[in-house]
Amino acid sequence: MWKIVGRMPARALWLGLMCMGIGCGAVPQGSTAVQPPPSGVTPTTQEKSGTEEPLSVAQVIALLQADPLAPVTVVRIVDAELDPATPVAAPELDAPTFIEAAAVSRQGARVRVAFDTPNARVMMWVPQPAVALYIASAFDVPQAPAAGTEPAGRVTLRAGALVEQLKTDGNNVEVRHLGGLQVTAMVPVAQLTATVPDRNMGMHIGGNRILVTPGALIRQQPNWSAPVLATVNSAYQLSLIRHVDDKWDEVGYSDFSLDVRGYYSKTSPPGRTAGQWQRRSQLSLANSGDTSVAAGTCLYASVGGGIAGVVKSDFTTDVRPSDRNGWSVAGIATPWGSVPFALRTSAPKTGRTWATCDEP
């Protein structure tokens, strides 16, 4: 997992995120809180007359040297950029893949995020929808009017549920929760936050357990035309509340992220799942090359561009000279693959091959 949080209560956060990914069943109650910023994806830039000023060099350096970086959020690996001169293409992935990061500034429809690699801390621009958000407070997903005599099923997204942004419609955002159950819903913008609010385990649902496979559908009513409330994504057990008839069971599911109650039929064909949250492991990334780069070296978004990272520990990688005197380009291993960062040649009197961020 990509850790940005330093000494935050990581075990509780990890437990909550894992429960969203695999379903936890009857897990003891617990919670974790990260102090939220004043609102949403909070830019560190100063706003003036509706526009945002770029971060100063000192601010950038401070953010790169901060430990821990905050607020913590989750970012999907999509096409991004270090700056307009250095686009970064997303690698081909077989499922939605995310890393933990810190949203540090915003500029129009894009967000600048900071994250750790095995040897450096770097910044990158991503489209705003690539920043996964959290449900700020418990939200009951609106349902269509129910038919028949059976009680209508329901879905509640709990505070702290991690959701992917799909599209915006006025003051509402269509989001998709990928956890033990996959749920798609329209939620008000005010219900979304970039930081983790208090997260508590849902109430345990009594009854026997039934085993299901990914793609199993939970409907609002026990009939084939009823709306789908949720699709089983990676949880394999639902709570059996009662048998409705020889085809339908009333079922429930609860974890850190959502509470669902509805109807399941084992004869129903499976629904489509979008995948699972995946997080890139540092262990799968390695720099290649034999040129030494020392801790403290400043990384630039492009030759002659702004500061976009700082090296945390000595390593070797592939470095090639650029067309501009005094500059080189190094490949740095990131979740996006090897990304080219620029290095500035240090003045001979420093005794260093590459400049640090505090050198003139």
Residue 48 is assigned to a structural domain of this protein: no
pLDDT at 33: 27
Buried b (16+ CB within 10 A) or exposed e, 79-116: ebbbeeebebebeeeeebbbbbbbbbbbbeebbbbbbb
User: Which 8-state DSSP code applies to residue 170?
Assistant: T
From residue 202, how far is each of 69, 141, 157, 225, 252 by CA, in Å?
Answer: 29, 16, 10, 29, 11
ω into residue 68 within 30 of 0, thus cis?
Answer: yes
Higher pLDDT residue, 10 or 102?
102
Let me know whether 148 and 230 are in one domain.
yes
Q: Are strands 337-344 and 86-88 parallel, antiparallel or unpaired?
A: unpaired
pLDDT in the model for residue 218: 96
Does the model's pTM come out above 0.75? no
3-state helix, strand, coil in the chain (%, to 5): 10, 40, 50
* Inside any domain, residue 27: no
Provide the pLDDT confidence category of residue 291 given band limits of 50, 70 and 90.
very high
Residue 282's SS3 state is: helix
Q: What is the pLDDT of residues 312-343, one digit of tens each?
A: 999 999 999 999 999 999 999 999 989 999 99
pLDDT of residue 289: 85
Q: Which residue has the higher pLDDT, 244 or 58?
A: 244
Beta bridge partners of 344: 327
Residue 239 lies in a domain: yes
CB of 259 closer than 8 Å to CB of 253: yes
Q: Is 59 a member of any domain?
A: yes
**For residues 220 and 226, is the Cβ–Cβ distance under 8 A?**
yes
- Of 83 and 285, the structure prediction assigns the larger pLDDT to 83
Please tell me the predicted confidence (pLDDT) of residue 58: 85
pLDDT given for residue 129 in this prediction: 87
Binned at pLDDT 50, 70 and 90, residue 94 comes out as confident
Rounded CA gap, 99 and 5, in Å? 12
> Within this chain, do residues 190 and 248 fall inside the same structural domain, yes or no?
yes
User: Do the domain assignments include residue 223?
Assistant: yes
Query: Are residues 238 and 165 both part of a single domain?
Result: yes
Cis previous bond, 71, omega within 30: yes
Cα separation values, 332 from 60, 120, 165, 174, 281, Å: 19, 8, 29, 35, 15
- 181 and 73 both lie in a single domain: no
The verdict on 158 and 206 lying in the same domain is yes
- The pair of structure tokens assigned to 73 is 């959020």
The residue range of the domain holding 230 is 136-264
129 and 145 fall within a common domain: no
**Do both 128 and 146 map to the same domain?**
no
Greatest mean pLDDT among 93-102, 125-134, 279-288 lies in 125-134
User: Do 141 and 93 belong together in one domain?
Assistant: no
127 and 140 housed in the same domain: no
The verdict on 322 and 234 lying in the same domain is no
pLDDT of residue 238: 93
352 — pLDDT class (breaks 50, 70, 90) = confident
pLDDT digits (tens, 9 = 90+) for 40-52: 333 333 322 233 5
pLDDT tens track for 122-134: 999 999 888 888 8
Question: Which pLDDT score, from 0 to 100, does residue 344 have?
Answer: 94
Number of domains making up the chain: 2
Specify burial of residue 10 (Cβ count, 10 A radius: 0-12, 13-18, 19+).
middle
270 lies in a domain? no
How does pLDDT run across 54-87, given as a tens digit for each residue?
778 888 888 887 766 666 777 889 999 999 999 9
Span 136-162, pLDDT tens digits:
999 999 998 888 788 999 999 999 888
Higher per-residue confidence, 121 vs 346: 121
Q: What is the structure's pLDDT at 32?
A: 27
Same domain, 145 and 129: no
Q: Are residues 105 and 83 in the same domain?
A: yes
